[in-house]
Each structure stands twice: as C-alpha cells, then as structure tokens.
Amino acid sequence: MFAFLSKRKRHPLSVYIYSKFNFYPKNIYLFELAFTHKSASIHHTKDFSINNERLEFLGDSVLNVIIGEYLYYEFPNENEGFLTNLRSKIVSRNNLNEIATILELPKRIKKQNERENLISNIYGNALEALIGAIFLDQGYEKTKKIIIEKIILPFVDIDFLIENDTNYKGQIIDWAQKNYLSIEFVNKEIQLSKNQQGYSSEVFINKELIGKGKGISKKSADQDAAKNALDNIRKKSTNNNEF
C-alpha cells in the first residue's frame, strides 16, 4: 500500500497538483481527464466522447456556488444585483483564462490543434474542469477551501473588479437607453475553425451598424461586439462630438 501511495505521489500530475493546491489526488484519472480537450478525446464516436467537457460543466456549477457563498458573507450589506455582477466578473472567460495561465494549465492541456488557443477559451474551460475534478476527488468543503485560498485570494483583485465594469453589453444598453436610442444585437452561427463552431454578433444603434464581434457562445460574441461598439462610439465622439 505504501509503495502504491509513493508511486501515486510521484506521478507528474500529482506533483503539479500538490505544488499548486497542496493535496495529492486520490483518483489521478479525474485530473488527466480534466486536461483532455475534446480535440484529443480518449474515446470518440459520433454520439459520445471522453474528454473534459463533463468535468467543465460540473466545475462551472461548483465554482458559481462557492463564489456566490463567498461573496454573500464577504459583502453582507450589498444587494443581489451587486453580488451577481461581481460574481459574473470573477467567473468571466477572460478572468478564468488569465488565472489558468498563471497556474500553468496551458502546459498540461492535451489537444490536437494548437490553433484552438487563439479562438477559444480552453484554458479557462480546463480550469473549470480541474475544479470539477477536485470536487469529485476531495469533496465540497476541501474544494471551497482550495478555491478561496489558492485562487480567489491570490489571483482575484476584487476591489479592482468592483471599480471597473467589464460588462460591455450592459454598458452599451444603458448608454442607448439614456440617450433614447434603439439597440439590437444580431447573432449568426459561424465556423471559427475547422473544429470549432461559434457565433458572430453585430450591434445596431438606431438601425446603424456600430460594432462587430465573435466568440464561442452568443454571450461572448455579444460582449466582444459591445466592446467594439463602445470603442467606435468613443472614437466618433472624440472626432466630431457625435454620440
């Protein structure tokens, strides 16, 4: 038994998990799966693939619950809107991608196509899958402790997130409403790459195209388009005082 434990702890992935989160996995397979992108599925058929997508789904749910509980107690005098907005910023794709990079997850992700890095959020997705694996391997309380102590406190600047609004779609909708202008987002399904489906988004202000974007989901495409629209509005305002 002791020889088995020693071998398990010497596994490169176990060493990595211990170095970042201070525990050795009980089931190393869960963590190998967490780093397996769908392009490198262990088993793939028309209807079923073994990769990190199911763990990503679980990790996303676990992360939202833990962040929600943390913020509930951390900000006892704030309303539901404040807490929801702040949680959204913490678990945003950009934020999770950045944290995953700091944790050196990209080095461990198994994938077939290197171009996937440029058009998707596989780093942040892998972080969610890793959280799912930790939850199954260690349970809720240990996972909560790890997320708070090893992810939120060292890598999330909550004061900065409170002061800076990155909800670009919300910003441009508010701006349009304050100026009594109509606003519409139009989405289309597109092929981002050979192996990646996604969406394009166009923002129309008073039926005039003002911004474009794309992403792996309608939500991320809308955010990208809204950011582009806000940049265009600011440039136009600076040039000729319109908008």
Give the active site residues: 60, 128
**Residue 173 phi, psi dihedral angles, 5° rounding:** -65, -45
Secondary structure class of 201 (helix, strand, coil): strand
Identify the H or E element spanning 27.
none
Beta bridge partners of 203: 185, 211
Count of Cβ atoms closer than 10 Å to residue 178 Cβ: 8
Secondary structure class of 49 (helix, strand, coil): strand
**Residue 202 phi, psi dihedral angles, 5° rounding:** -125, 135
Give the span between the Cα atoms of 89 and 91, in whole angstroms. Answer: 6
Cα–Cα separations (whole angstroms), residue 16 to 105, 130, 131, 156? 10, 12, 14, 21
